[in-house]
């Protein structure tokens, strides 16, 4: 038997999210991020959002639940988990796992959609031809590559979390691809879903399977009610040509 529930939480708003939104609004080609992707920290709003996640955990967790906590090694994810656990009073020892880090964009990193079109028009055309799921920018990853990481992660999760509830703090594309893998979606189904839904900062997605075996079902996707309840604003989307890059 493996885990019975996955609580998937996207990190709070980061400083690069703010920079990406600013770049989109100004028509810039490049996002002026303050640090390399792995080192980008939360914004002040992001810290508030992480604390709101902690309040949600305090309301929904009980003795022995969650049974484990997993986190992307990127600073913004670790800050989110740390602030949430402190707010909730949880004392789990989180485990970092590089397989749930954000998708790597290679030569397109820090470029807006306009920036890609202007600086790498052949790549923009190749992406349109191959589609979001299979397009791999030079030096980067496709969504399919990230899905392989998640399949590996889930296999190890089942070996360590017997019948438990696993808390995972990661990134928007990663959480979307958890849904793809766990719900057994086809490429077209995933892309249609992603066209209509986003994984907002500090939102909660719950995947469940009561027996701890077999396919998962979606309990809730990208829920932000815990943010609204305490008056913490959600983040207006600020991302790249594919998904929120930071």
Q: Is residue 26 part of a domain?
A: yes
> Total domain count for the chain?
1
Say how far apart CA 178 and CA 166 lie, in whole Å: 13
Q: Is residue 213 part of a domain?
A: yes
CATH number at residue 148: 3.40.50.1240
Q: For residue range 154-201, what is the model confidence (pLDDT) as tens digits?
A: 999 988 888 899 999 999 999 999 999 999 999 999 999 999 999 999
Q: What is the pLDDT of residue 163?
A: 83
Say how far apart CA 175 and CA 205 lie, in whole Å: 8
Q: Is 187 exposed, middle or buried (0-12, 13-18, 19+ CB in 10 A)?
A: middle
Instruction: Give the residue numbers spanning the domain of 113.
Output: 5-230
Q: Is residue 188 part of a domain?
A: yes
Beta strands (DSSP E) in the chain are 5-10, 68-71, 95-96, 165-170, 204-208, 217-223
Q: For residue range 76-86, what is the model confidence (pLDDT) as tens digits?
A: 999 999 999 99
Q: For residue range 227-242, what is the model confidence (pLDDT) as tens digits?
A: 999 898 887 654 433 4
Residue 126 CB neighbours (<10 A)? 14
Q: What angle, rounded to 10 degrees, do the helices at 172-182 and 143-160 form?
A: 70
Q: Is residue 236 part of a domain?
A: no
Q: Is residue 53 part of a domain?
A: yes
Q: Is residue 245 part of a domain?
A: no
Distant-in-sequence, close-in-space partners of 148: CB < 8 Å, separation ≥ 6 = none
Q: Is residue 95 part of a domain?
A: yes
pLDDT, average across residues 114-139: 97
Q: Is residue 122 part of a domain?
A: yes
Confidence of residue 147 (pLDDT cuts 50, 70, 90): very high
pTM, whole model, 2 decimals? 0.94
pLDDT, average across residues 62-82: 94
């Amino acid at each position: 038997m493996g885990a019975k529930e996955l609580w998937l939480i996207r990190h709070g708003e980061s400083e690069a999210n703010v920079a990406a939104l600013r770049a989109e609004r100004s028509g810039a080609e490049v996002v002026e991020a303050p640090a390399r992707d792995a080192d980008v920290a939360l914004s002040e709003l992001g810290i508030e959002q992480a604390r709101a996640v902690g309040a949600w955990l305090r309301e929904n967790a009980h003795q022995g639940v969650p049974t484990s906590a997993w986190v992307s090694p990127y600073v913004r994810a670790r800050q989110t988990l740390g602030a949430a656990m402190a707010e909730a009073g949880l004392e789990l020892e989180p485990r970092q796992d590089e397989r749930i880090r954000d998708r790597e964009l290679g030569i397109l990193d820090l470029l807006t959609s306009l920036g890609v079109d202007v600086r790498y028009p052949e790549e923009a055309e190749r992406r349109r031809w191959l589609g979001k799921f299979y397009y791999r920018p030079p030096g980067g990853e496709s969504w399919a590559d990230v899905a392989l990481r998640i399949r590996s992660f889930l296999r190890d999760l089942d070996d360590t979390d017997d019948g438990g509830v696993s808390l995972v703090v990661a990134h928007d594309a990663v959480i979307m691809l958890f849904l793809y893998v766990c719900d057994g979606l086809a490429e077209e189904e995933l892309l249609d879903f992603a066209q209509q839904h986003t994984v907002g900062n500090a939102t909660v997605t719950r995947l469940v399977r009561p027996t701890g075996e077999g396919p998962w079902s979606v309990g809730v996707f990208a829920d932000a009610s815990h943010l609204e309840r305490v008056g913490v604003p959600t983040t207006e989307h600020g991302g790249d040509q594919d998904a929120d890059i930071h």
